[in-house]
A and B are shown apart, each in its own frame.
Chain A
Amino acid sequence: MEKKRDVTIGIGGAAGDGLDKSGDTIAKTCSRLGLYVSAYNSYQSVIRGGHIWLRVRIAEKKVSSHGDHLNVLIALNQDTIERHAREVEPGGAVIYNSDKLTCDSVLIGNQVLPVPLPVKAITKSFGRLQPIMQNTVALGALLYLLGLDFDMAASVLADTFKHKGEAVVEQNVRVVRAGYDYARDISVPLGYEWDYTRIRRPFITGNEAFALGAVAAGCKFYSAYPMTPASSVLHWMAAHGAKCGVVVKQCEDELAVVNIAIGAGHAGVRAMCGTSGGGFALMTEAIGEAGMIEAPVVIIEVQRGGPSTGIPTKTEQADLNQVFGASQGDYPRVIIAPTDTTDCYYTAVEAHNLAEKYQLPVTIISDLLLSEHPETIEADALRHDVPIERGEIISDWSPEKGQFKRYAFTRSGVSPRALPGTVGAMYVAATDEHDEEGVVISDVFTTPPVRRKIQEKRMRKLDKVLQELTPPKLEGPPDAEVTLIGWGSTKGVIGEAIALLAAQGITANHLQVKYLHPFHAKEVSEMLRGMKRTFCVECNYTGQFARHLRAETGFGVNDLILKYDGEPFEPHHIVEQLRGILEDRPRSTDVTLEEAREMGYHYVRVHLADKVRPGKIEKIDESEYGEPLWQIEMVSRDGGEKRGNLSIGAATGSTYSWQAVKALTADAG
């Protein structure tokens, strides 16, 4: 049998179970061994409780998404077994603490190996351990099952717990060893084989790459108000500000955040700020201000699920309209959507260069998926000697030359900049309309031709910007049956979907757009007009990019592939929707069985104090509610005894009724 070289591990538990640490240890171990890792954490905005579902994909070749497989499940609570054990693919395993959890054989497929770990017995010799050490035992079992290098894991643990002292390190390593040895005694490895190159490569998130890239490009100022999922930029900057000479300012609100950054940018320092959609909404007026006074500034907008407060810990690509609509009036700005983790690094560099060369605001639009998922990137992906292009800055101005014209009407639209403090070049940067010298023409001296010429001057900077940006390229055969169009973070997953389609005999090509404004309308237009059938893939409800594409090019895509449940696309989601459209099966918005189970969990949490869990689920076609129903049997958490029935509309998703088994309602409600 051929050895397997691509595995996806799922770790599930409650917030506070410490599974992020376990995930980190696995990921770092594999990354240091020279394997490629990509992880995604479906977490919730709670400190404790809630269901956390972390997936870590490990492969010998570079992986560009967390994929859509599940090979090994580490369950830290019973819910995780109930929810995810079924998803484990043949040849895989389910690892769990058998002191506390059970894994019913009906929940797992025939060729899936249950790996019950009697944690107490395994760790008897260590005395009393913290509950979190069950994760450490499971980690040991996992290392054995996947044939991973034990010593590397031990060295990662040594680094992780170094600050806690030698004894803690040693205990962790010994507990991992105990789990490893136990698994060896009861089982055989799952048939993975790894070629360890031991090439050291960074394991990094998009937000970390933004921060590092910005600092490498000379960013000296970062301001922010805490907001998920942008906060990790603030955290990295705050932790490294002193070392890198960066002033990091947490502000009272996003109005301050962006205006302080604009002030710093105006004064001649490379300045950046970051937020998510809600904070960006507060920043919008000031982004127009930067456009008007021609101050360089970089804003990172990390999208999360909206609208309003929305779903802070879930991903979406639905702020595009907002970023385009930011601020009143027409003003020059650049909007960039980086397409992968390494690209985040270079986008930060490019954003600072564009902002200074063209003296305008640059918005980087990312999303939770891209910003927060860590992955292994190539060893030489990040270069320290990035280009730093500041544009034209004058160092002095002699009075003989007359009044310095900060907004001189040049052919390029770019006017030489004098930083405050420059002798002889005093001027006022006004948000009111002004003339070449900066003198306000908004009230008493309103002069239509001056207004016309300065508006033209500002706006024509974008012609030069567009020439500088690389147009998007069509990947794959030009005569493919289908064309998939995406923007920003979906590059990797669309690529994997295309490989799946190819395996199913459907040829596809791929256009991923990074530069959203100014837009390569001519190039994209020409490219797409020859395509057979076009699909826009977006993580939102309305297809915001497809609309933008039509506005810019007049080209309307044939179909939309959309997702807006807060979880990112996995390759199969794209393939299934695409095939449905090709086969003329309209996309169903009905509640699936898996979704019904999750809705059952939601009901249990809200109304039944988490005392029961969903058991058997079946669909009833005839119901008094005018739609088929999902009937969910709720069972006790310990014995699996029936406690009642919950019915959910299969089309609407409405929770119609909860009928408790009478005698047991008291402790279940």
Chain B
Amino acid sequence: MATVIELPIETYASEVEPDWCPGCGDFGVLRALEIAAGRLGIKPEDLMIVSGIGCSSNLPGFIHAYGVHSLHGRAVAVATGIKLANHDLNVVITGGDGDGYGIGLGHFIHAMRRNLDLTYIVMNNQIYGLTTGQASPTTMKEVRTKSTPLGNFELPINPIALALVSGATYVARGFSGENKHLADLFAGAIAHKGFSLVDVFSPCVTYNKINTYEYFRKRNYKLDVESGYDATKVELALQKSFEWGDRIPIGVFYENQQPTYEDQEVALSNGPLVKQKLGLNKETFDELVEEFM
């Protein structure tokens, strides 16, 4: 295996300043992503960041790498196409809870059961920020938002549990207030061969006055230092995924090696599709036409 030459985080510095609100959790996510990419020595040209729509989906514009800022809810699908076309690229999907767990939920689940080698970072602020504060799929019960003035009475999505039952092979949760820990999770996720989800508590300082930095600092604890926790056991992970209240676990819930989609796709066995020769030779073509005779 080639030695990794670490790259400084300036490698990924973009000239464009993020337009997030001061104090937004997404700053911490961007920083942690740059640290993780640098640690893994991923060159900017080999890094592809795909996002959907939302505050957090603006992230590709603020990092020096290739990026696609796709449609609302479609980032996972676009990233799937990119990965299948060129699996030499490190493809990281970044987006929010509305984008991934609301309008894009179907793609999220199916990508996990395919175990594509993709890393999905969800900046979960439990609110629709860009559209100025409506309830999101992860807004907790009874929380009042612009669209739930009497209190939300729907259950929030449990992304960790969903990922575990859908076949994701690296499932983690981080907090943008814990940058070093978050960078470790990202590095683990990107290095992992298979579908990785990192759900990140990334507080919205403008529209969510409940799930604040303070809220998570009080409750978060790390699974990796929890005695008796074994991230290779899916049953334990599932149990932990339901823990919510005074104590909320962060860290790697589950990690497991399974063959990736790319490993199993015959058409990719000769290397990335994008590097294959186009068209058919006469012999193959004649064989194909012969089937119609």
The chain A residues found within 8 Å of chain B, CB to CB, are 31-32, 200-204, 208, 212, 215-218, 220-221, 223, 240-249, 251-253, 255-256, 259-271, 285-286, 289, 293, 382, 384-386, 388, 403, 419-432, 439-440, 443-444
Assess whether A259 is in contact with B293, with CB atoms less than 8 Å apart.
no
Which residues between 46 and 93 of chain B lie within 8 Å of chain A, taking CB atoms? 46, 48, 50, 53, 58, 60-61, 64-71, 73-74, 77-86, 88-89
Known A244-B284, A293-B68; contact A422-B273, beta-carbon cutoff 8 A? no
5 cross-chain CB contacts under 8 A: A31-B293, A244-B280, A259-B81, A428-B68, A440-B69
Known A215-B280, A259-B71; contact A268-B85, beta-carbon cutoff 8 A? yes
Shortest Cβ distance from B79 into A: residue? A263
B82: which of A204, A420, A432 is its contact (CB, 8 Å)?
A420
Assess whether B285 is in contact with A259, with CB atoms less than 8 Å apart.
no
- Determine whether B107 belongs to the interface, using a CB cutoff of 8 Å to chain A: yes
Assess whether B273 is in contact with A245, with CB atoms less than 8 Å apart.
yes
B69: which of A260, A270, A419, A430 is its contact (CB, 8 Å)?
A430
CB proximity of A327 to chain B, nearest CB, Å: 10
B81: which of A260, A424, A440 is its contact (CB, 8 Å)?
A260
CB proximity of B255 to chain A, nearest CB, Å: 25
What residues on B are CB-neighbors of A201 within 8 Å?
293
CB proximity of B16 to chain A, nearest CB, Å: 6
What residues on A are CB-neighbors of B266 within 8 Å?
241-242
Separation of A202 and B287 alpha carbons in the complex (Å): 12
- Majority secondary structure, A binding face: mixed
Assess whether A220 is in contact with B273, with CB atoms less than 8 Å apart.
yes
Assess whether A289 is in contact with B44, with CB atoms less than 8 Å apart.
no
- Determine whether B149 belongs to the interface, using a CB cutoff of 8 Å to chain A: no
Assess whether A269 is in contact with B85, with CB atoms less than 8 Å apart.
yes
A218: which of B66, B265, B278 is its contact (CB, 8 Å)?
B278
Assess whether A256 is in contact with B110, with CB atoms less than 8 Å apart.
yes
Write out, one digit per residue, whether chain B residues 7-20 have a CB within 8 A of any chain A CB (1) or not (0).
00000000110010
CB proximity of A659 to chain B, nearest CB, Å: 52
What residues on B are CB-neighbors of A215 within 8 Å?
280, 288
Shortest Cβ distance from A159 into B: residue? B293
Separation of A424 and B286 alpha carbons in the complex (Å): 42
Known A255-B74, A286-B71; contact A421-B276, beta-carbon cutoff 8 A? no
Shortest Cβ distance from B49 into A: residue? A428
A sample of 6 more A-B contacts (CB under 8 A), given A255-B106, A260-B81, A429-B69, is A212-B288, A245-B270, A263-B84, A384-B279, A431-B69, A431-B71
A426: which of B44, B88, B107, B292 is its contact (CB, 8 Å)?
B44
Separation of A252 and B286 alpha carbons in the complex (Å): 34
- Determine whether B45 belongs to the interface, using a CB cutoff of 8 Å to chain A: yes
Interface size on B, residues (CB 8 A): 59
Known A388-B279, A421-B45; contact A269-B274, beta-carbon cutoff 8 A? yes
The chain B residues found within 8 Å of chain A, CB to CB, are 15-16, 19, 43-46, 48, 50, 53, 58, 60-61, 64-71, 73-74, 77-86, 88-89, 106-107, 109-110, 265-268, 270, 273-274, 276, 278-282, 284-286, 288-289, 292-293
Known A203-B292, A261-B81, A421-B88; contact A431-B106, beta-carbon cutoff 8 A? no
Separation of A289 and B68 alpha carbons in the complex (Å): 11
Shortest Cβ distance from A270 into B: residue? B278
What residues on A are CB-neighbors of B81 within 8 Å?
221, 223, 259-267, 271
What residues on B are CB-neighbors of A220 within 8 Å?
85, 267, 273, 276, 278
What residues on A are CB-neighbors of B265 within 8 Å?
247
CB proximity of B105 to chain A, nearest CB, Å: 10
CB proximity of A369 to chain B, nearest CB, Å: 19
CB proximity of A343 to chain B, nearest CB, Å: 16
Shortest Cβ distance from B19 into A: residue? A444
What residues on A are CB-neighbors of B289 within 8 Å?
202, 212, 382
Assess whether A260 is in contact with B84, with CB atoms less than 8 Å apart.
yes
CB proximity of B47 to chain A, nearest CB, Å: 8
Known A428-B61, A428-B67, A431-B69; contact A263-B284, beta-carbon cutoff 8 A? no
CB proximity of B155 to chain A, nearest CB, Å: 23
Separation of A423 and B44 alpha carbons in the complex (Å): 8
CB proximity of B206 to chain A, nearest CB, Å: 15
Separation of A247 and B271 alpha carbons in the complex (Å): 12
Assess whether A202 is in contact with B293, with CB atoms less than 8 Å apart.
yes
Q: Which of B78, B89, B273 has most chain A Cβ within 10 Å?
A: B78
Separation of A531 and B280 alpha carbons in the complex (Å): 45
CB proximity of B46 to chain A, nearest CB, Å: 6
A271: which of B85, B106, B284, B293 is its contact (CB, 8 Å)?
B85
Shortest Cβ distance from A253 into B: residue? B106
Separation of A439 and B288 alpha carbons in the complex (Å): 45
Shortest Cβ distance from B114 into A: residue? A249
What residues on B are CB-neighbors of A245 within 8 Å?
267, 270, 273, 276
What residues on B are CB-neighbors of A223 within 8 Å?
81
What residues on A are CB-neighbors of B60 within 8 Å?
428, 430
What residues on B are CB-neighbors of A264 within 8 Å?
81-82, 84-85, 273
A255: which of B15, B44, B77, B280 is its contact (CB, 8 Å)?
B77
Assess whether B19 is in contact with A216, with CB atoms less than 8 Å apart.
no
What residues on B are CB-neighbors of A221 within 8 Å?
81, 84-85, 273
Separation of A220 and B268 alpha carbons in the complex (Å): 10
Shortest Cβ distance from A240 into B: residue? B288
What residues on A are CB-neighbors of B274 within 8 Å?
267-269, 419, 421
CB proximity of A469 to chain B, nearest CB, Å: 22
CB proximity of A62 to chain B, nearest CB, Å: 16
Assess whether A251 is in contact with B79, with CB atoms less than 8 Å apart.
no
Assess whether A431 is in contact with B61, with CB atoms less than 8 Å apart.
no
Assess whether A430 is in contact with B273, with CB atoms less than 8 Å apart.
no
Assess whether A216 is in contact with B84, with CB atoms less than 8 Å apart.
no
Separation of A235 and B63 alpha carbons in the complex (Å): 41
Assess whether A200 is in contact with B77, with CB atoms less than 8 Å apart.
no
Separation of A165 and B288 alpha carbons in the complex (Å): 24
CB proximity of B128 to chain A, nearest CB, Å: 15
What residues on A are CB-neighbors of B80 within 8 Å?
249, 256, 260, 263
What residues on A are CB-neighbors of B71 within 8 Å?
259, 285-286, 289, 431
Assess whether A260 is in contact with B292, with CB atoms less than 8 Å apart.
no
What residues on A are CB-neighbors of B280 within 8 Å?
215-216, 244, 384
Shortest Cβ distance from A218 into B: residue? B278
What residues on B are CB-neighbors of A429 within 8 Å?
67-69
Q: Which 5 A-B pairs have the closest CB atoms?
A: A263-B81, A218-B278, A259-B77, A428-B67, A267-B85
Assess whether A266 is in contact with B82, with CB atoms less than 8 Å apart.
yes
Assess whether A259 is in contact with B74, with CB atoms less than 8 Å apart.
yes
Separation of A210 and B257 alpha carbons in the complex (Å): 39
Separation of A208 and B282 alpha carbons in the complex (Å): 18
Shortest Cβ distance from A223 into B: residue? B81
Shortest Cβ distance from B268 into A: residue? A247
CB proximity of A242 to chain B, nearest CB, Å: 4
Known A440-B58, A440-B69; contact A246-B267, beta-carbon cutoff 8 A? yes
Separation of A248 and B78 alpha carbons in the complex (Å): 15
